[in-house]
């Protein structure tokens, strides 16, 4: 595969957010490698635009290493499903993402875009108390905090995206981006979060920053830490001759 076009590993490509990220990245010149634990999902992922599919479990460090081999960038939209998985021990949100960050670092990837959640770390107050209690008890918040911290400490250019409550509504492109904790609260369509994740990969301004993301309609909270991001458009194959695109692709591939 053309490494000089840059290769991105999409972890969580089968998920409800990850599927939208796959749609967006498949339209770019990047080689998109999708990760799933489900071998039966391969044909669907390829039909949706994945160039490569790796079957593996991020809770297995060897699988994480295999998944990220030769990748220049990683986008993670993995998360534990509700239910038994949360009481079984290690969560993909914690141990799994830590394995992925470590593997990305070891393999020489440069860029990592992580889906976390409002409620983690200094955004704790952005989560309604009842939900915070449930997610604290299940260990999801502490697991996500651990992986956020691992990523911040890693020698990778990172963007951490903390969405509010996810919905399956269509994309609106009308999101509010907060930076600095719990001032932004509300819900947001997965499709909008996916756009933020995909665009973050190409927007230098988002590097080494942590954002809270919710929809503007229904925005709650003080919203006094809102930032304006000048999102870089996703590169298109037909526009790949453009100087800016070539520069960004070179950087991802270096
Ligand atoms: N639900 C909310 O309101 C909410 C709010 C804020 C943030 N979030 C976060 O947003 C993210 C996306 O959520 P979502 O609801 O769109 O996700 P989802 O539909 O539940 O998808 C989860 C994805 O994680 C993958 N996955 C789970 N365990 C894995 C493992 N051990 N190894 C590799 N992959 C694994 C699954 O892949 P396979 O099954 O194919 O392996 C699947 O693609 C998650 O991080 C979630 O915590 C959710």
Check pocket membership of 58 for ligand 1, CB cut-off 6 A. yes
Q: Which atom of ligand 1 is nearest to the CA of 193?
A: 10
Task: Report the C-alpha gap between 166 and 187 in whole angstroms.
Answer: 6
Domain residue ranges of the chain, discontinuous segments joined by +: 3-253
Overall average pLDDT of the 88-94 stretch: 87
| Cβ atoms 114, 144 nearer than 8 A | no
What is the number of other CB atoms lying within 10 angstroms of the CB of residue 85?
14
CA 77 to ligand 1 centroid distance, Å: 6
Check pocket membership of 9 for ligand 1, CB cut-off 6 A. no
Overall average pLDDT of the 83-101 stretch: 83
Angle, nearest 10°, between helix axes 18-26 and 190-202?
50
Q: Would you give the end-to-end CA distance of the chain in angstroms?
A: 15
pLDDT tens for residues 190-238?
A: 999 999 999 999 999 999 999 999 999 989 888 999 999 999 999 998 6
Residue 251: per-residue pLDDT: 57
pLDDT tens for residues 115-157?
A: 999 999 999 999 999 999 999 999 999 999 999 999 999 999 9
pTM of the full predicted structure? 0.93
What is the number of other CB atoms lying within 10 angstroms of the CB of residue 84?
8
Higher pLDDT, 81 or 123: 123
Check pocket membership of 17 for ligand 1, CB cut-off 6 A. yes
Higher pLDDT, 243 or 55: 55
The fold of the 3-253 domain, in CATH, is Rossmann fold (3.40.50)
Distances (CA, A) of 128 to 73, 124, 178, 181, 201: 33, 9, 17, 14, 30
Check pocket membership of 81 for ligand 1, CB cut-off 6 A. yes
Overall average pLDDT of the 150-166 stretch: 98
């Amino acid at each position: 595969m053309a490494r000089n076009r840059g290769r991105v590993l999409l972890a969580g490509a089968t998920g409800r957010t990850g599927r939208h990220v796959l749609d967006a990245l498949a339209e770019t010149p990047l080689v998109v490698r999708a990760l799933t634990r489900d071998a039966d999902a391969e044909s669907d992922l390829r039909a949706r635009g994945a160039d490569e599919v790796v079957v593996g479990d991020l809770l297995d460090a060897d699988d994480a290493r295999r998944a990220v081999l030769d990748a220049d960038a990683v986008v993670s939209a993995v998360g534990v499903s509700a239910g038994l998985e949360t009481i079984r021990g290690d969560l993909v949100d914690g141990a799994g993402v830590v394995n992925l960050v470590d593997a990305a670092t070891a393999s020489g990837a440069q860029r990592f875009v992580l889906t976390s959640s409002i409620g983690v770390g200094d955004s704790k107050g952005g989560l309604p108390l009842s939900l915070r209690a449930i997610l604290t008890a299940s260990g999801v918040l502490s697991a996500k905090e651990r992986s956020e911290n691992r990523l911040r400490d890693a020698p990778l250019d990172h963007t951490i995206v903390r969405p509010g409550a996810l919905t399956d509504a269509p994309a609106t492109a009308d999101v509010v981006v907060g930076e600095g904790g719990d001032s932004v609260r509300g819900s947001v369509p997965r499709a909008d979060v996916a756009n933020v994740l995909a665009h973050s990969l190409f927007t230098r301004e988002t590097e080494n920053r942590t954002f809270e993301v919710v929809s503007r309609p229904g925005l709650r909270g003080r919203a006094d830490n809102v930032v304006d991001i000048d999102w870089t458009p996703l590169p298109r194959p037909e526009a790949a001759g453009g100087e800016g695109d070539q520069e960004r692709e070179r950087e991802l591939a270096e």
